[in-house]
Amino acid sequence: MGPQGKPKDMFHCVGIIFFLLGLGTLLPWNFFITAIPYFEKKLGRNCSAGWEAAGNQTTSNPPPVSSCKDEFSFSNWLALLSQLPLLLFTFLNSLLYRCISDKVRILGSLTAILFLFVLTAILVKLTMSPRSFFSITMASVWFINSFCAVLQGSLFGLLGSFPQRYSTLFLSGQGMAGMFAAIAMLLSKASGLDDQSSALIYFVTPCAGTLVSIGCYLFLPHQSFSRYYLDKRPAEDLGYELETKAVLLSPDLVADSSKGELLNVKNGNAGVVEQDGLARPPEVMNGGSGVGMVAPNPSIFSVLKKIWLLALSIVMDFSITLSVFPAITTKVISSTQNLLWQDYFTPVCCFLLFNVMDWLGRSSTSYFLWPKKHLRLLPAAVGLRILLIPMFLLCNIPRKTGWPVLFPHDAWFVILMVAFSLSNGYFVSLTMCLAPKQVQPEESELAGAIMTFFLALGLSCGAGLSFLLRLLL
């Protein structure tokens, strides 16, 4: 047992469970976007980029001219139809989370995701027209991300009851999901099997991952550490037992509470405690001859007022990220003539590099949280990432327009991707970790649901912007 009778997380089991659950929530999205080359090939997209010198071209690195036929705009539609249901169902989850138990929401979503991934694996072996395949795939993407929204929102709400480091572990797991998908894609390509067999193995992998997530969630309530945080009473949350004859907190006591002092409730004074660095007034329970004061249900608008800077920041962060990744970044081609490297350039430099750096960014919040005490600086810091958008557009992309290529070498793309993904992961983890700490304990679940909604809003805005940026190519 830990301090104040709290059980310990033996062998870090609960931390590992939340890490694996975080990984499971983003497996669908990452396995679909990493497989963009497979889907485009199945849809009959033929792409060859050559160097075509203009009549009076004097530069040593003329822009590549594209002969790609991308009839379906697969990567753009994939991003959009992934994020719109995420936005819609995250909003519904934030309104209806009290009506349906978290067990039903989480297990039901994981089961539906497993079924749809099995369907995706089956489609690998079926022969059909490109338009039918596109329609079925997009419908599957829509429903998978609808269930992912409910799953993610429910788990973020659940995490509000646990210490901050478990939120960080969950977000680190989400960052690892992309790395996991990229490595699976590289292994399937390197396996030497035919395209159909390697794709089948690739899509069976997230089925196994989803089964592991189901097992982890079922195992979670059997840990004494997690039961303590899931089942404890509000009074236990604050770490003391309340006995009082007072009905309301007086203004003087509210002033005292700002100092985070623990006052003696047995002498007739209402008390406050300092929890997670914040002063919290106690919830006074009915007992003996005293009259109880019951905390009202959390209000969406009152919670949003406390976390709006964090909500704005996460919308900005994901709007910038999804506007270019993966719709624009997957269009960048290698400047080398090595055919093997050209084949591995996108899986390695676009997907694997992005997800490794994103994971490191998310994990870094375990060591520092800036600007924790100056949240008004956060939107400005996130806004600096917008400078990366035109820089990606000026990379080595086959295009029909007259845009110059200012960053032709592969090294430029790698440098931009490192800065882009590292900052994305850090700001996502920072905002999601700080949000529950800006509100009262009983508001933390609602704060998690609200932040998840704004996360989805940012993703949807970014996916919509990707269509506009594509017109520039």
- How many separate helices (H) and strands (E) can be counted in the chain? 17, 4
Mean pLDDT computed over 326-353: 91
Residue 167's contacts (CB-CB under 8 Å, 6 or more residues apart) are 156, 159, 432, 433, 436
pLDDT digits 0-9 by tens, 146-196? 998 889 888 887 887 888 789 888 977 887 888 888 898 888 888 877 878
297-303: long-range pairs with CB below 8 Å, 24+ = 298/439, 298/440, 298/442, 298/443, 298/445, 298/446, 300/94, 300/446, 300/450, 302/443, 303/439, 303/443, 303/446, 303/447, 303/450
Ramachandran angles phi, psi of 424, nearest 5° = -60, -50
Mean pLDDT over all residues of the chain? 78
pLDDT at 70: 58
Specify the higher pLDDT residue, 267 or 299: 299
Confidence of residue 232 (pLDDT cuts 50, 70, 90): low
E strands along 165-304, which residues? 273-275, 278-280
Q: Which stretch of DSSP H or E encloses residue 445?
A: helix 444-470
pLDDT digits 0-9 by tens, 100-156? 888 899 999 999 999 999 998 898 888 888 889 899 999 999 999 899 888 988 888
- In a 3-state reduction of DSSP, which class is residue 31? helix
Confidence of residue 285 (pLDDT cuts 50, 70, 90): very low
pLDDT at 329: 94
pLDDT at 68: 52
pLDDT at 1: 56
pTM: predicted TM-score of the whole model, two decimal places: 0.69
pLDDT at 451: 86
For residue 261, pLDDT over 70 is answered with no
Specify the higher pLDDT residue, 371 or 52: 371
For residue 275, pLDDT over 50 is answered with no
Specify the higher pLDDT residue, 421 or 64: 421
pLDDT digits 0-9 by tens, 351-394? 999 989 988 998 888 888 887 777 888 999 999 999 999 999 99
Cα–Cα distance, 405 to 409 (Å, whole number): 10
Residue 347's contacts (CB-CB under 8 Å, 6 or more residues apart) are 34, 37, 182, 185, 186, 189
Confidence of residue 94 (pLDDT cuts 50, 70, 90): low
From residue 44, alpha-carbon distances to 63, 73, 77, 202 in Å are 25, 12, 16, 20
Mean pLDDT computed over 295-309: 82
Confidence of residue 471 (pLDDT cuts 50, 70, 90): confident
Q: Which residue has the tokens 């010198």?
A: 53
Which of 91-105, 152-166, 285-299, 336-350 has the weakest average pLDDT?
Answer: 285-299
Mean pLDDT computed over 266-285: 41
pLDDT at 259: 39
pLDDT digits 0-9 by tens, 9-26? 888 899 999 999 999 988
Name the amino acid, one letter, at 44: G
Say what the alpha-carbon torsion angle 429, 430, 432, 437 is, to the nearest 10 degrees: 140
Mean pLDDT computed over 274-278: 42
For residue 324, pLDDT over 80 is answered with yes
From residue 73, alpha-carbon distances to 52, 84, 396, 453 in Å are 24, 17, 19, 26
E strands along 76-146, which residues? none
Cα–Cα distance, 226 to 238 (Å, whole number): 17
Residue 175's contacts (CB-CB under 8 Å, 6 or more residues apart) are 355, 358, 359, 360, 361, 362, 363, 425
Which of 131-135, 244-248, 408-412 has the weakest average pLDDT?
Answer: 244-248
Mean pLDDT computed over 19-39: 87
- In a 3-state reduction of DSSP, which class is residue 64? strand
> What percent of the chain is predicted at pLDDT more than 70?
79
